[in-house]
Structure 1
Amino acid sequence: MTDSLITSLSPLATFSQGYQLELNSGQASTDPLRAQFEAFIHQRFAETYGATVKHYMPQLLGLRHKGALQAVVGLRPASANPLFLEQYLDIPACTQIRQRSGIAMQREQMIEVGNLAALAPGAARMLIIALTHYLAAQGFSWVVFTGTAMLLNSFQRLALSPIDLGMADPARLGRQQAEWGSYYATRPRVMAGYIPEGLAQLNQRDAFQRLGYQARYAQPQEANHASA
């Protein structure tokens, strides 16, 4: 299991029909790719919720189609720092996951995703598929995130069933909640997904094969349908 994600490959993966996956692993605002990813997130949250996003995940993953950005999501390994979404929880996320799932796990096996922004639900689903494959390849077992009803519908359409850890209560954020516009009117939930189970489900549905997913990183052991 790696504490830091692969940083050197661009694109990280390709799809059929001109889609590709890109990773920005640095936080320097002068990096052109990161600046583009952050601007995309900022614009989508402003347009959708009237929100002002001021904080971005340490690493950003983008989905592009024929040069045009379609979706972006942020990544934060849990081993490094407290997670943003743990503000909503009374106990650490890893403890709650163990209680809800009955599966033994360590904090370094968990990663938080956030800052998810997409032009359309289809782009979000494609990014979720790629993200599942990539995180499995990096050795993570659990992904935690805050999901709106629209995002959870994307998981349902992919036959993925994350565990509900509770409500994302904006009161836990204090004055920061004013920056989020109408986001919390969607009643988001804190969720956890077991990555090996999700990967197996997507493989069973031939999701990677149908998308023509070609990874340019070491394959997760279970992901036989997506060739390097």
Structure 2
Amino acid sequence: MELAGVAHHNPLARIGLDQSLHCFISHQDQQDARRTHTESFIRTCFAQHHQAHIRQFMPDLISLEDEHGQIQGAFGLRMAQHQPLFLERYLDQGIEHTLAQHWKTPIQRSEIIEVGNLAAQGAASARFLIVCLTHLLASLQVNWVVFTGTPGLLNSFRRLGIDLISLAKADPERMGAERADWGHYYATNPQVTAGYVPAGHQRLIQQGIYLRLGFTPFYAAEQESLHVAHG
């Protein structure tokens, strides 16, 4: 999966008033300096916070960088339409069926995107990432976002007024041999979590958060070239 039509050397958006930060994308098939730097940042953050050893990265990575090119936060994206999701190992059925049971409506895998590899240099950077993520997914017309979230990450969503629903506990027993790579990550009691993107987007608009944080996207809301495609 890649975000077609988005050049990896151009910023996706700008956010922040006191300190202007820019969001960039790096694709899996473009192992350039930005991709390498972003993977290293994610790996370092997980090692510092959880003594975890991250070996897998999402197909597309979004980095939040300051004016000096220093990464302040990052997350990855994977479209459910094209491949199994990392978090589906915690579920007894496909993510589309799990979501359909909770929301009592049919849901297609093409409507779902997984967020992972999320790492930030503090709560403020985490909230900036969530704002950038929400606007981007709304522009991509993605309906459902799913991720495995720690209590700290879930609190960042709550502080922005975004409603989420817990789908399942992230059970380390389902990790098999990979469990050893995750340090004490599972001691935080992470949860498989989902959110309805249009509702979260409207919530941020209604609260004036995009405006208050100086969020400026560099893509048009209905730009035809900005879409999720299979890489």
Alpha-carbon distance in structure 1 between the residues aligned to 2:141 and 2:171:
30
| DSSP 3-state at the match of 1:114 | strand
Q: Which residue of 1 aligns with 2:33?
A: 32
What residue number does 1:126 align with?
128
2:91 aligned partner: 89
CA contact under 8 A between 2:25 and 2:60: conserved in structure 1? yes
Query: How far is 1:102 from its partner?
Result: 2.0
Offset from partner CA, 1:5-63 (integer Å, 9 cap, x none): 1431611111233111111123444x100000000000000011100000000000011
Aligned partner (choices 166, 182, 185) of residue 184 of structure 2: 182
Give the aligned residue type for 1:11. Answer: P
Greater CA deviation, 7-16 or 35-44?
7-16
Q: Tell me the TM-score normalised to structure 1 length.
A: 0.92
Q: Which amino acid in the other structure matches residue 64 of structure 1? A: E
Q: Map 1:146-165; keep pairs closer than 5 Å.
A: 146-165=148-167
Deviation at 1:218, TM superposition (A): 2.1
Q: Is the 8 A contact 2:60 2:76 kept in 1?
A: yes
1:66 positional shift = 2.0
Q: Which runs of 5+ in 1 are unaligned?
A: 222-228
Q: Which moved more, 1:178-187 or 1:99-108?
A: 99-108
CA contact (8 A) 1:27 1:59 kept: no
- 8 A contact 1:42–1:53 mirrored in 2: yes
Structure 1 Cα separation of the partners of residues 172 and 101 of structure 2: 24
Q: Return the alpha-carbon distance in structure 2 between the equivalents of residues 139 and 159 of structure 1.
A: 20
In structure 2, what is the equivalent of residue 210 of structure 1?
212
Contact 1:27 1:34 in 2 (8 A): no
**Cα distance in 2 between the residues matched to 1:203 and 1:125:** 15
Partner of 1:5: 3
Q: 1:220 to 1:156 in 2, by over 3 A?
A: farther
Task: Give the whole-Å Cα distance in 1 for the aligned partners of 2:191 and 2:84.
Answer: 18
Deviation at 1:159, TM superposition (A): 0.9
**SS, match of residue 5 in structure 1:** strand
Q: CA deviation at 1:181?
A: 0.2
Unaligned runs of 5+ in 2: 224-231
TM-aligned CA deviation for residue 160 of structure 1: 1.0
SS at match of 2:53: coil
Moved over 4 A (4+): none
CA contact (8 A) 1:118 1:124 kept: yes
Provide the residue aligned with 1:98 in structure 2: 100
Residue matched to 2:141: 139
Q: How far, CA to CA, are the matches of 1:102 and 1:204 in structure 2?
A: 26
- Kindly report the root-mean-square deviation, in angstroms, between the aligned alpha carbons of the 2 structures: 1.5
SS at match of 1:86: helix
Tell me the equivalent position of 2:197: 195
Contact 2:2 / 2:59 at 8 angstroms: preserved in 1? Answer: no
The residue type paired with residue 14 of structure 2 is T
